[in-house]
Amino acid sequence: MNSAEPDNATLPRMPAIFIGHGSPMNALEDNEFSRAWAALGQSLPRPKAILTVSAHLQTKGTWITAMPQPRTIHDFYGFPQALFDFAYPAPGSPALAAKIQAEMPVIQMDQSWGLDHGSWSILCHLYPNADIPVLQLSLDRHKSPEEHYQLGKALRWLRDNGVLVVASGNIVHNLQAAIWRDTAHDWALAFAERVKQLIRAGDHRALIQYPTLTDAALAIPTDEHFLPLLYLLGLQDEGDKLSFLTDKTTLGAIAMLSVQLA
């Protein structure tokens, strides 16, 4: 297949989204974030499949889930039993995983992982029926920010083939600086606002070089929650309409900014 040509010319070009997923409790709670995600799901065209890029799967090499039925992974501790009992039984798509690997041989096929809370805690609101095939792409911990961005670019063809790409992380994520109430450190607010300004300006280079931004070491002491944003930036085409969905920094140092390209 030529990746520049869609499988079906009648398919609408899919949006791409980055969602600040925050606490896994958002899967169960009725709050401003879960309601915004539910409204977003109702506004999106129905995809043939979903590819998620979650902050919570870091690997050596880049892997894609390729099993018919990915399991629901509860990759956390200290939460109520109801969260551990939660399941998101969406099917996988080995055929789509194989097609992606054929287009991008750097990606390896995974048969052991599944969907972690970076995926299911938001998909359960976007598509509560769990009836759309979902694949999850890992973050290669050995790739540079530039390489993650370029991999996002290499995934652009999926948007013309009915696949919704959902990048899931947080542009500010520092649990060591958490305050367990609805407030935020001044530096967290300032960093989130600066990132938002750079996204709006289309300054991908500055965002790829995020360690040079003021307070980056505080805002993202580890980069796994920021890297999914670089995939969204790589997926951006000239002419895309950019919109900000949820836009709040809370719990001291968790930014819940979400971004849509359409």
159-188 pLDDT, tens digit per residue, is 999 999 999 999 999 999 999 999 999 999
Choose between 193 and 5: higher pLDDT.
Answer: 193
pLDDT for residue 246 is more than 70: yes
Q: Which residues of 127-136 are buried (b: 16+ CB within 10 A; e: fewer)?
A: beebebbbbb
Q: What are the backbone angles phi and psi of residue 247, rounded to the nearest 5°?
A: -150, 80
Mean pLDDT (whole number) for 53-58: 97
pLDDT for residue 3 is more than 50: no
pLDDT for residue 141 is more than 70: yes
pLDDT given for residue 12 in this prediction: 81
pLDDT given for residue 254 in this prediction: 98
Mean pLDDT (whole number) for 19-30: 97
Spatial distance between the Cα atoms of 221 and 70, rounded to a whole number of angstroms: 30
pLDDT given for residue 11 in this prediction: 77
Mean pLDDT (whole number) for 204-215: 98
CB 237 within 8 A of CB 152: no
Q: What is the mean pLDDT of the chain?
A: 95
Q: How much is the pTM?
A: 0.94
pLDDT given for residue 4 in this prediction: 37
Q: Using alpha carbons only, what angle is made at residue 168 by residues 70 and 189, rounded to the nearest 5 degrees?
A: 155
